[in-house]
Chain A
């Protein structure tokens, strides 16, 4: 079978949609995750669900694993191929099929780029809120498969909250539609949700139907700096207690602030312990009122400075400090390992301090930034994968950070998924019964275990 697989694929898809040469497939051996690599057998580019169904049928007949891939920006190794797997890359299925302004919905092929979906919605005066940092290249299928978040999670939620329906190809090759354009729909189990965040292990998403919102009329950006971590956390609690839900509530810690200053010179005070970037959006009058309250609350909690942007240009300038965080950190050392732990909001300040203690203990540079409003932190370890001794300390530090997160009632991943990177910790978090339930679901949908094997669990 193995010897006929490639010719059969070529016959159906055309030889140029089936890559096997070393130079062609080597670049599909990794995703955005540091240090993980694999070597696929071939990379195929389907044109539609029928092609996907055909590929899965052949793979099943030959017992060949299939790894679905969007743009390969994942941060948990989700699309890193299993040795000898077929990579099913949806990057060429990238059309936006429909913008339905009457029903506030948009339908696109799974390989459509998130940014293009934003643009298509925007052109119709509408708004697709999820905005992962990778949106200019991530695919909507990848977003659905990881249930990606972004900077607007606090008010608008994550990808899951916008998926009305989808077309999925199952391991046996059958093509299903799950969901509809109806706002309410309780016909049968909510299987759509099962596939959201399934990381390519249950089926291949080929189309997505998304919910859109009216575009908020106004937006206001505020940047507050604090001399102590607890003051920043206090400001966040005070804002939430005042019944204000900003659309964005982002955070940078001391190490991140210094790196941003070294590499991007965003004008942040180097001695600050924390920076909060807060954005309110909605009706202009409400936004103005909320912005004033946020400013007052930050000052009351001891902010050393509070800047409120006067216009869009100034907003962009304030936001650039947060946006450049990841890029600034990525420049410091050759290897950048981005963690994704999430804790209940009340545990945030303690968690940030715990990460600092872990960094000190192991002699590592760990900068923490993230989505404070969501309790989602990105402790980022700056290291060098070629330094075996240091990488060993990194392993220890990661395990301790996970331990601390679970102790505080948190989760090992808020938005990047389990993939390969978080696999060792999943059973600990879920407990035996819930963990086994995942396996039951997997076996029911993919009895041969050919869809992205070895991801989430073994």
Chain B
């Protein structure tokens, strides 16, 4: 990875310090300090590139206070590639070890190098967690006050952990599924959190693609896409994971590579940049990047078939009020904003109610809710407040991190809350209702 000093200076220079990004930045909004806004962060990074500032602890903390939500890139008139700066900066912070403590290093090693590079190990841990959640032990331990023995971070983490599904993606989806008439061929990426906690989204993704003439390849064991690593300063592992992904799925053999998680998709699209200097993989990575699509984007692109059935939950054919929360990395990172709404509007009976600040981060931001709990909580509160104001019975969103964050928010507030779902789950239900087929996943 090129450092800030080595990277293409024009990326830093592209910022003309106009400040137009400031009002959309959640951390600037919170403090009104330049350092906590995109313009200030870019200025600090440029100072590092210019040799006026070393990578200090304060700079490290700043780059981890940034959500990486990329709202600034949507707002920026000059087209500043903040995502590239952000990843480079976090990598440099890690290289300089300015934030390193024995615990932090151990946690990073465990998560980034051990668990999230080994899909089978991750699933095994998922099964363990499922047992813990389902067996009643979690509840018992909580009542007995045993959780207090855990270190603070873990104690916070445990109730926020997603509920593991009874069956993971490979137990719901065959490696190859074909519709009656094959018009296209696509590969579906099942993700990490999505695979374990929201496997029904993966099933629904395959269903809607099949309903639109796609032959769907879903390798049963998939490596993590590396977005977690790239966003957290471990570019070397991110590269390794990208290569493994390219070994597993040949982009030349499919029309599109489908992601249904905003956070993953945003990273997957940049394999070309990530592996640009790789003598073996660069060409393949470029083709990969050309073919990556978010599922909603792809469905709109191929002119998906309008469903005749309703969205299920409406019961007696009444209207179903749905609001849409935009995942940062879907709308700001990938520019996919219109298409998920098109899917929702296409479903008979769905009334789409826009939510204020729909494109503002919910505070999930990868692992931000663990590293910066106070800010994450405030962002979540604000998000819930706007969601409640719509009065919608369903919140649709295209990223597992957002889904979990919003679900946890309602739970923490002691509310039943609306159903939180991925748009394709609603679309899949609508297709199923047409044929009267009911399958619960």
Count chain B residues whose beta carbon lies closer than 8 angstroms to a beta carbon of A: 31
State how many angstroms separate the Cβ of B255 from the closest Cβ of chain A.
Answer: 26
**Which residues of chain B are within 8 angstroms of A137 by Cβ–Cβ distance?**
19-20, 22-23
State how many angstroms separate the Cβ of B380 from the closest Cβ of chain A.
Answer: 24
Q: Contacts A27-B44, A71-B19, A92-B32; is A385 near B58 (CB within 8 Å)?
A: no
Q: Contacts A27-B40, A71-B19, A330-B16; is A22 near B77 (CB within 8 Å)?
A: no
Q: Check B23–A72 contact: CB distance below 8 A.
A: no
Q: Check B19–A327 contact: CB distance below 8 A.
A: no
**Which residues of chain A are within 8 angstroms of B120 by Cβ–Cβ distance?**
none
Selected from B9, B14, B32, B79, the residue in CB contact (under 8 A) with A91 is B32
Q: Check B18–A134 contact: CB distance below 8 A.
A: yes
**Which residues of chain A are within 8 angstroms of B22 by Cβ–Cβ distance?**
71, 137
Q: Is B33 in the interface zone, CB < 8 Å from A? A: yes
Q: Check A26–B13 contact: CB distance below 8 A.
A: no
Q: Check B16–A336 contact: CB distance below 8 A.
A: yes
Q: Check B16–A31 contact: CB distance below 8 A.
A: no
Q: In the docked arrangement, what's the CA distance between A326 and B40, Å?
A: 21
**Which residues of chain B are within 8 angstroms of A19 by Cβ–Cβ distance?**
33
**Which residues of chain B are within 8 angstroms of A384 by Cβ–Cβ distance?**
10, 13
Q: Is A34 in the interface zone, CB < 8 Å from B? A: yes
Q: Check B77–A30 contact: CB distance below 8 A.
A: no
Residue of B nearest to A330 (CB): B78
Selected from A26, A72, A331, the residue in CB contact (under 8 A) with B79 is A331
**Which residues of chain B are within 8 angstroms of A34 by Cβ–Cβ distance?**
16
Q: Check B32–A327 contact: CB distance below 8 A.
A: no
Q: Is B39 in the interface zone, CB < 8 Å from A? A: yes
Q: Check B17–A30 contact: CB distance below 8 A.
A: yes
Residue of A nearest to B56 (CB): A23
Residue of B nearest to A22 (CB): B53
Q: Contacts A23-B35, A27-B35, A330-B77; is A32 near B58 (CB within 8 Å)?
A: no
Q: Contacts A72-B34, A330-B78; is A26 near B53 (CB within 8 Å)?
A: yes
Q: Check A27–B43 contact: CB distance below 8 A.
A: yes
Residue of B nearest to A336 (CB): B16
Residue of A nearest to B60 (CB): A23
Q: Is B344 in the interface zone, CB < 8 Å from A? A: no
Count chain A residues whose beta carbon lies closer than 8 angstroms to a beta carbon of B: 36
Q: In the docked arrangement, what's the CA distance between A23 and B98, Å?
A: 14
Q: Is B59 in the interface zone, CB < 8 Å from A? A: yes
Q: Check A26–B9 contact: CB distance below 8 A.
A: no
Main secondary structure on chain A at its contact with chain B? loop
Selected from A21, A23, A327, the residue in CB contact (under 8 A) with B78 is A327
Selected from B14, B62, B77, the residue in CB contact (under 8 A) with A23 is B62
Q: In the docked arrangement, what's the CA distance between A73 and B19, Å?
A: 6
Q: Is B367 in the interface zone, CB < 8 Å from A? A: no
Q: In the docked arrangement, what's the CA distance between A134 and B43, Å?
A: 20
Q: Check B79–A30 contact: CB distance below 8 A.
A: no
Q: Is A24 in the interface zone, CB < 8 Å from B? A: yes
Selected from A22, A32, A45, A331, the residue in CB contact (under 8 A) with B17 is A32
Q: Is A113 in the interface zone, CB < 8 Å from B? A: yes
Instruction: Please indicate which of the listed interface residues B18, B37, B47, B59 has the most CB atoms of chain A within 10 Å of its own CB.
Output: B18
**Which residues of chain B are within 8 angstroms of A336 by Cβ–Cβ distance?**
16, 78
Q: Check A386–B77 contact: CB distance below 8 A.
A: no
Q: Check B20–A136 contact: CB distance below 8 A.
A: yes
Q: In the docked arrangement, what's the CA distance between A134 and B19, Å?
A: 8
Q: Contacts A23-B59, A134-B18, A134-B19; is A28 near B78 (CB within 8 Å)?
A: no
Q: Is A431 in the interface zone, CB < 8 Å from B? A: no
Q: In the docked arrangement, what's the CA distance between A331 and B15, Å?
A: 10
Q: In the docked arrangement, what's the CA distance between A21 and B47, Å?
A: 14
Selected from A22, A26, A32, A113, the residue in CB contact (under 8 A) with B18 is A32
Q: In the docked arrangement, what's the CA distance between A83 and B126, Å?
A: 57
Residue of B nearest to A69 (CB): B34
Per-residue interface assignment for chain A, residues 322 to 347, with 1 indicating a CB less than 8 Å from any chain B CB and 0 otherwise: 00001100110011100000000000
State how many angstroms separate the Cβ of B12 from the closest Cβ of chain A.
Answer: 9
Q: Check A113–B78 contact: CB distance below 8 A.
A: no
Q: In the docked arrangement, what's the CA distance between A326 and B32, Å?
A: 25
State how many angstroms separate the Cβ of B360 from the closest Cβ of chain A.
Answer: 15
Q: Check B53–A136 contact: CB distance below 8 A.
A: no
Q: Check A72–B33 contact: CB distance below 8 A.
A: no
Q: Is A350 in the interface zone, CB < 8 Å from B? A: no
Q: Is A302 in the interface zone, CB < 8 Å from B? A: no
Interfacial residues of chain B within 75-97, with CB under 8 A of chain A in the complex: 77-79
Q: Check B14–A334 contact: CB distance below 8 A.
A: yes
Q: In the docked arrangement, what's the CA distance between A326 and B59, Å?
A: 31
Residue of B nearest to A116 (CB): B23
**Which residues of chain A are within 8 angstroms of B41 by Cβ–Cβ distance?**
27
**Which residues of chain B are within 8 angstroms of A234 by Cβ–Cβ distance?**
none
Q: In the docked arrangement, what's the CA distance between A21 and B56, Å?
A: 11
**Which residues of chain B are within 8 angstroms of A331 by Cβ–Cβ distance?**
14, 78-79
Per-residue interface assignment for chain A, residues 13 to 54, with 1 indicating a CB less than 8 Å from any chain B CB and 0 otherwise: 000000101111011111110100000000001000000000
State how many angstroms separate the Cβ of B93 from the closest Cβ of chain A.
Answer: 13
Selected from A21, A29, A263, the residue in CB contact (under 8 A) with B43 is A29
**Which residues of chain A are within 8 angstroms of B32 by Cβ–Cβ distance?**
45, 91-92, 94
Residue of B nearest to A334 (CB): B13
Q: In the docked arrangement, what's the CA distance between A28 and B47, Å?
A: 13
Q: Contacts A92-B32, A326-B77; is A335 near B13 (CB within 8 Å)?
A: yes
Residue of B nearest to A335 (CB): B13
**Which residues of chain B are within 8 angstroms of A113 by Cβ–Cβ distance?**
23
Q: Check B35–A24 contact: CB distance below 8 A.
A: yes
**Which residues of chain A are within 8 angstroms of B35 by Cβ–Cβ distance?**
23-24, 26-27
Selected from A21, A72, A73, A326, the residue in CB contact (under 8 A) with B58 is A21
**Which residues of chain B are within 8 angstroms of A28 by Cβ–Cβ distance?**
34
**Which residues of chain A are within 8 angstroms of B20 by Cβ–Cβ distance?**
73, 134, 136-137
**Which residues of chain A are within 8 angstroms of B18 by Cβ–Cβ distance?**
32, 73, 134, 330
Q: In the docked arrangement, what's the CA distance between A28 and B37, Å?
A: 12
Q: Contacts A137-B22, A330-B78, A334-B10; is A26 near B16 (CB within 8 Å)?
A: no
Interfacial residues of chain A within 60-118, with CB under 8 A of chain B in the complex: 71-73, 91-92, 94, 113, 115
Q: In the docked arrangement, what's the CA distance between A94 and B29, Å?
A: 12
**Which residues of chain B are within 8 angstroms of A29 by Cβ–Cβ distance?**
43
Instruction: Please indicate which of the listed interface residues A92, A94, A330 has the most CB atoms of chain B within 10 Å of its own CB.
Output: A330
Q: Contacts A27-B34, A71-B19, A330-B79; is A385 near B13 (CB within 8 Å)?
A: yes
Instruction: Please indicate which of the listed interface residues B9, B20, B34, B35 has the most CB atoms of chain A within 10 Å of its own CB.
Output: B34
Q: In the docked arrangement, what's the CA distance between A335 and B12, Å?
A: 11
User: A22-B53, A23-B35 known; 18 other A-B pairs, CB under 8 Å?
Assistant: A23-B62, A26-B40, A26-B52, A27-B34, A27-B37, A34-B16, A71-B22, A72-B17, A72-B19, A73-B19, A73-B20, A113-B23, A136-B20, A137-B22, A327-B77, A327-B79, A334-B13, A384-B13
Q: Which 7 interchain pairs have the tightest Cβ spacing?
A: A327-B77, A27-B40, A27-B34, A330-B78, A334-B13, A23-B58, A27-B43
Sample 18 A-B pairs with CB under 8 A, ordered by A number: A23-B59, A24-B58, A27-B35, A27-B39, A29-B43, A32-B16, A34-B16, A72-B19, A73-B18, A91-B32, A115-B23, A134-B20, A136-B23, A137-B23, A263-B79, A330-B77, A334-B13, A335-B16
Interface of B toward A, CB cutoff 8 Å = 9-10, 13-14, 16-20, 22-23, 32-35, 37, 39-41, 43-44, 47, 52-53, 56, 58-59, 62, 77-79
